[in-house]
Amino acid sequence: MPSLLVADGVWRRGRYPELVEWLQRVHGDGAILCSACSGVLLIAETGLLSDREATMHPAYASTFEQNFPDLRIRLEETLIATGDREELVMAGASASWHDLVLYLVARHVGPTAAQAVAKFLLLQWHTDGQAPYVPFTAPTDHGDAIVLAAQEWLRTGYAVAAPVTELVERSGLPERTFKRRFAKATRYSPIAYVQHVRVEEAKRRLERTTEPVDAISYAVGYEDPASFRRLFRRITGVTPGAYRRKLQLPAFAGTALGDAHRRRGPE
């Protein structure tokens, strides 16, 4: 199943019963079912993924979880092969179809053939997974005004020395009550939420600036750069330096952009 258009990011079940039935039938006949990106939404309707793990594009995680709450979504994984015969194979975000193709070539032809295809077409395995690219998002439609106010404050107040203490004081609630309500509403403890917000801001700075990692660490609230690096790697799966190398424009792209601006002249 290739990527499918999901209008407004909301998947509606039951629109393609004939296709779902066909997928179930060919699976029963021994077929391997593969998906790229949002294609897993249709495969999930077959019920074949029940109680299994799945991956897909992070943009569709919310609608996937709402439609298929019995499945465990693993957005950090680029590719997942599951099932009794590993006959259900899912690739994540759009470009991970490269990984799907190389996996199938390696599985059915051999690793040497997969390496030759990758070399000839300049394809690369996404060995670091999707975690570096997954943006931090937390629910804001939970209906808890106090928690929402805390989330809004953290957009700019994440770097204070004791953010959780500040949140508790601002809420006017007992500490245990606030932490319980925050975790219920957002699915994150307050400290975990702060950590993700800080790392998300660090990612933005790594992408768009040349600030040293130690300076970015301090700017987002960590005086100890080593602690920051450990936290960044735990959340993203890569070091800050590796993340910067992945996301920053290469030198030749920056040169081309500069030439284009000069040709256009002042605006």
Domain range annotation of the chain: 7-133, 145-247
CATH superfamily of 7-133: Class I glutamine amidotransferase (GATase) domain (3.40.50.880)
Q: What pLDDT, on a 0 to 100 scale, did the predictor assign at position 260?
A: 58
The answer to whether 44 and 10 have CB atoms below 8 angstroms apart is no
Give the orientation angle of helix 163-171 with respect to helix 175-186, to 10 degrees.
100
- Bridging pattern class, strands 88-91 and 79-82: antiparallel
Residue with tokens 């499918």: 4
- Dist. CA 97–CA 112, nearest whole Å: 19
Q: Which CATH architecture has domain 145-247?
A: Orthogonal Bundle (1.10)
Provide the token pair at 116: 């030759």
Burial class (CB in 10 A: 0-12, 13-18, 19+), 155: exposed
Ranges of residues in the chain with a pLDDT under 70 are 252-267
- Dist. CA 140–CA 236, nearest whole Å: 23
pTM of the model: 0.75
Q: What is the pLDDT of residues 64-103, one digit of tens each?
A: 999 998 888 998 899 999 999 999 999 998 888 999 999 9
Nearest alpha carbon to residue 10 among 75, 77, 65? 65
Q: What pLDDT, on a 0 to 100 scale, did the predictor assign at position 211?
A: 94
Q: Which residues pair with 73 in a beta bridge?
A: 54
The answer to whether 205 and 184 have CB atoms below 8 angstroms apart is no
Q: What pLDDT, on a 0 to 100 scale, did the predictor assign at position 174?
A: 96
